[in-house]
Amino acid sequence: MGTVLSLKKVSKSYGALKVTDDIDFILKDGETLGILGPNGAGKTTLFNLISGDVRADNGSIFYCGEDITRVSPQNRCRQGIGRTYQIPHPFSGMTVFENLLVGATYGGNMSEDQADPICIDVLKKTGLIKKANLLSGSLTLLDRKRLELARALATQPKVLLLDEIAGGLTEHEAKELVDLIGDIKAEGVSMIWIEHVVHALLSVADRLLVINFGSKLADGDPDKVMNDPEVKRVYMGIEV
Amino acid sequence: MNSYSANSTASMLSSSTDTFEVQRSTKAGMITLIISIVLLGLSISMPFWAGSSYLRLFTELACYMAMAQMWNLLGGYGGLVSIGQQAFIGIGGYSLFVWANFVGVDPFTSVALGGIIAALFAVPISQLVFRLPGGAFAIGTWAIAEVLRLVVANTYVLGGGSGASLTALRGIDRATRESVTFWIAVAAAFGSVLLVYMLLRSRFGLALTAIRDSEVASRSQGIDVKKIKFLVYVISSFGFGIAGALYFLANIRISPDAAFGISWSPLIIFMVIIGGAGTIEGPLIGAILFFVLSKIFEDYGTWYLASLGLLAVIVTIWFPKGLWGLVVDHFDLRLFPVQRRLRMPENK
């Protein structure tokens, strides 16, 4: 398996607060990497650095062998890095279908005619097809989360960043999303998934990365990482 | 089409034989098209049957319609809340006078040149004001309009502070002048709506609407937000330039205060907010409402302006989507079909 994404000594500070401290890690082609960490550990900042919403102070980010540290968010998306937000950001005045069209036409760089069938396909996969004509602002939380995912998929990503996609959902709803994420994984999309719903994460992740105070605490096989005494103390001690 | 039940299952992988169709027109849209054609025909024929006072009134209304539509494109869709678009009204107006009076270009053709000159000015001005965040952007646009006003007021050849008359119109008889001015007004009013409509139906329109709803998400969906905003700014300034030139062609006189004055902005923003920002219908309704109110009540001076302010406050607090927003919420009516809807196979 080749490496699709790698971070080399990436740092980001807000004033005196170091939110990302010399982080190094790689994501392999087709792999699903789970990220765990207490609140405020710097997980979402890590996503913002990868998606380009936030610029790194130091270090480099490589995507498919190319240095993208200074590339704009829109170009990273066009190159194949799709993301969802922890708090859904739907284009609330547009229909669900139009939300996907935006992703497909701009992120996927194609005409609307080319985008139509792709969006319909993603809508079917994500169970949103019957709601295609509803204004996205009127959706329930579960559907907004689905829409986040669907819109990211419409950009036809090689790497998908999922930020607490199962957070705030009922057990049953989370299960539906996990099944969907499993399907996406089966299609060969590489993923990084931040999640507090640990059993959801463990059911899909190939590898786990634990972050605390902006730096890497553990990285490796999910079972080993979950049994690591330091991880148990820092993460499980707080959350479970 | 909106009446689907709310329950659905995840990974609902339908069979691939289902055919979905993307619909980009509605019945209401067809009716709008027919009404528009009728209105356009009526408008074009107006100089042959209506009095010149009516032509003048409708020319003024057309200017407001075009300006409101252009401000809505900028503020309602692009999220660029400018209080300085009078800069381009003034540039359009003054360039009409320069081309017609000094260069000798036909005054009616000069209106189009007014738009082009305004668009050219918008390029460097945008580079200045786009560096300013949020509220500073609004103030910055105003400051630029003020600078232009002062520069023009101190330029002797342009008539200085007291302004200039459109002497190039001298050789043209009154009936021709009034009719042609009116036809340009009709073109500006219908053209501005058509322009925004066409933009919204294109791929560009998807980006514009997305930016209106969430800039952060737009970026992460591959939209070059800066580029789109720049284009919107230039297009809107072009429209303001045309409308400004047209306004002062109808007025025959121009002065720095009338052209670059801050009083334009609150009126135009009033029209857009009252009607409903971020829609095509809103600015149209707002412009017509403002025009009617101004004609009925403008003799009341201060009380008239205070009442407009009060109306704006009431609408923004209780009807933040404007009057057109009320109509959409109650009747799900859209006169301009800019939505893409999926027609489901079972509906066939």
- Beta-carbon separation of B222 and A132 below 8 A: no
Cβ-based contacts of A177 with chain B (< 8 Å): 10
pLDDT-based confidence at residue B300 (cuts at 50, 70, 90)? confident
| B15 within a domain of the structure (yes/no) | no
Q: Which of residues 175-214 of B touch A (CB under 8 A)?
A: 203, 206-207, 209-210, 212-214
Question: Is B79 an 8 Å CB contact of chain A?
Answer: no
| Ramachandran quadrant class, B98 (left: phi over 0; alpha: psi -120 to 50; beta: rest) | alpha
Average pLDDT on A124-146 reads 91
pLDDT-based confidence at residue A1 (cuts at 50, 70, 90)? low
Closest listed residue to residue A197, CA positions, set A216, A215, A181, A186: A181
Tell me: the pLDDT tens digits for B226-282?
999 999 999 999 999 999 999 999 999 999 999 999 999 999 999 999 999 989 999
pLDDT value for B346: 63
Distance between CA atoms of residues A226 and A207, nearest Å: 11
pLDDT value for A170: 86
Q: Checking DSSP bridges between strand A66-67 and strand A159-163, what pairing results, if any?
A: unpaired
Question: Is 90 exceeded by the pLDDT of residue A29?
Answer: yes
| B4 within a domain of the structure (yes/no) | no
- Beta-carbon separation of B223 and A106 below 8 A: yes
pLDDT value for B332: 78
Tell me: the pLDDT tens digits for B231-241?
999 999 999 99
- Beta-carbon separation of A94 and B213 below 8 A: yes
Query: What share of chain A in percent tops pLDDT 90?
Result: 62
The CATH number covering residue B46 comes to 1.10.3470
Tell me the domains of chain A and their CATH numbers. 1-80+159-240 (3.40.50.300), 87-156 (no CATH)
| B18 within a domain of the structure (yes/no) | no
Question: Is 60 exceeded by the pLDDT of residue B347?
Answer: no
Tell me: the pLDDT tens digits for A206-238?
999 998 888 888 888 888 888 888 888 887 765
| B95 within a domain of the structure (yes/no) | yes
Q: What is the rounded average pLDDT for all residues in chain B?
A: 89
Instruction: Determine how many CB atoms are found less than 10 A away from the CB of residue B45.
Output: 10
Question: What is the reported pTM?
Answer: 0.87
Question: Is 80 exceeded by the pLDDT of residue B309?
Answer: yes
Q: What is the rounded average pLDDT for all residues in chain A?
A: 90
- Beta-carbon separation of A127 and B210 below 8 A: no
pLDDT-based confidence at residue A192 (cuts at 50, 70, 90)? very high
pLDDT-based confidence at residue A75 (cuts at 50, 70, 90)? very high
Domain count, chain B: 1
DSSP secondary structure of A201-224 = HHTT-SEEEEEETTEEEEEE-HHH
Question: Is 70 exceeded by the pLDDT of residue B18?
Answer: no
Q: What is the ipTM of this complex?
A: 0.88
Query: Searching chain A, which residue's CA lies closest to the CA of residue B217?
Result: A89
| B143 within a domain of the structure (yes/no) | yes
Question: Is B3 an 8 Å CB contact of chain A?
Answer: no
Contact between B114 and B101 (Cβ < 8 Å): no
Tell me: the pLDDT tens digits for B97-122?
999 999 989 999 999 999 999 999 99
pLDDT value for B90: 97
Question: Is 70 exceeded by the pLDDT of residue A154?
Answer: yes
pLDDT value for B343: 85
pLDDT value for B348: 42
pLDDT-based confidence at residue B299 (cuts at 50, 70, 90)? confident
Of B11, B220, B222, the CB nearest to A183: B11
pLDDT value for B15: 40
Contact between A82 and A107 (Cβ < 8 Å): yes
Question: Is 50 exceeded by the pLDDT of residue B1?
Answer: no
Average pLDDT on B152-179 reads 90
Distance between CA atoms of residues B157 and B101, nearest Å: 11
Question: Is 70 exceeded by the pLDDT of residue B33?
Answer: yes
| B239 within a domain of the structure (yes/no) | yes
Question: Is A97 an 8 Å CB contact of chain B?
Answer: yes
Question: Is B12 an 8 Å CB contact of chain A?
Answer: yes
pLDDT value for B169: 87
pLDDT value for B12: 39
Closest listed residue to residue B237, CA positions, set B119, B93, B102: B119
pLDDT value for B135: 87
Q: Which of residues 156-185 of A touch B (CB under 8 A)?
A: 176-177, 179-180, 183
Rg of chain B on CA atoms, in Å: 22
Query: Searching chain A, which residue's CA lies closest to the CA of residue B279?
Result: A93
By residue range, what is the domain housing residue B37? Answer: 27-336
Average pLDDT on B14-32 reads 73
- The first and second tokens of residue B317, run together, are 């607090």
Average pLDDT on A124-133 reads 91
Query: Searching chain A, which residue's CA lies closest to the CA of residue B278?
Result: A93
| B140 within a domain of the structure (yes/no) | yes
